[in-house]
Amino acid sequence: MNILATLCYIRKNGKTLMIYRNKKENDYHEGKWNGVGGKFEIGENPEECATREVKEETGLSVKSLKMKGFISFPNFDGKNDWHVFLFIIDDFEGEIIDSNEGELHWINDEDITNLNLWDGDKIFIPWLEQEKFFSAKFIYEGKSYKSHEVTFY
């Protein structure tokens, strides 16, 4: 099955809001740090999904966002192909809530790749700084990173 999703990196003053996934039962991402985001609901486009997911998971209201890339994760969870739109958000308002997905923390940008991230995240997060849009495919077997390919536009 194909799953459409978003992954958002909310930034402010040299820090990025990251979520430590430790609250959701049977969470495939348990123990990992991620950006915020989630699956599309029926009728949503990527921007609507990103805006809704940020509000639900953080309490923040997105004022503007920038799509930076698209990644396919074939058979990522052992049963689904995930297709993920990646966004940077640096214009938002509101107060952070207690998320039911995990603990939210502002992390210094230079420290992000030192967190317990998926191995592929350590590769693509630096691409978010580039001016070019990217399209990539990351291959995992089980929870182990195997390879990736990318095209920059």
CATH code linked to domain 2-152: 3.90.79.10
pLDDT, residue 23, reads 85
Q: To 5 degrees, how large is the angle CA 50–CA 56–CA 61?
A: 65
Report DSSP state, residue 23.
S
Q: Where are the domains of the chain?
A: 2-152
pLDDT, residue 28, reads 86
pLDDT, residue 26, reads 80
Number of alpha carbons in the 13 Å side-chain half-sphere of residue 122: 11
pLDDT, residue 148, reads 98
pLDDT tens sequence for the chain (153 residues): 999 999 999 999 999 999 999 987 888 888 999 999 999 999 999 999 999 999 999 999 999 999 999 999 999 988 899 999 999 999 999 999 999 889 999 999 999 999 999 999 999 999 999 999 999 999 999 899 999 999 999
The terminus-to-terminus CA distance of the chain in angstroms comes to: 28
Give the separation between CA 52 and CA 106, rounded to whole angstroms.
20
pLDDT, residue 153, reads 97
Amino acid at 84: V
Give the separation between CA 125 and CA 120, rounded to whole angstroms.
9
Helix ranges (H only) for 79-134 are: 119-124
pLDDT, residue 105, reads 97
- Assess contact for 46 and 76: CB atoms under 8 A: no
- Assess contact for 130 and 66: CB atoms under 8 A: no
pLDDT, residue 15, reads 98
pLDDT, residue 24, reads 77
Q: What value does the CA radius of gyration of the chain take, rounded to a whole number of Å?
A: 14
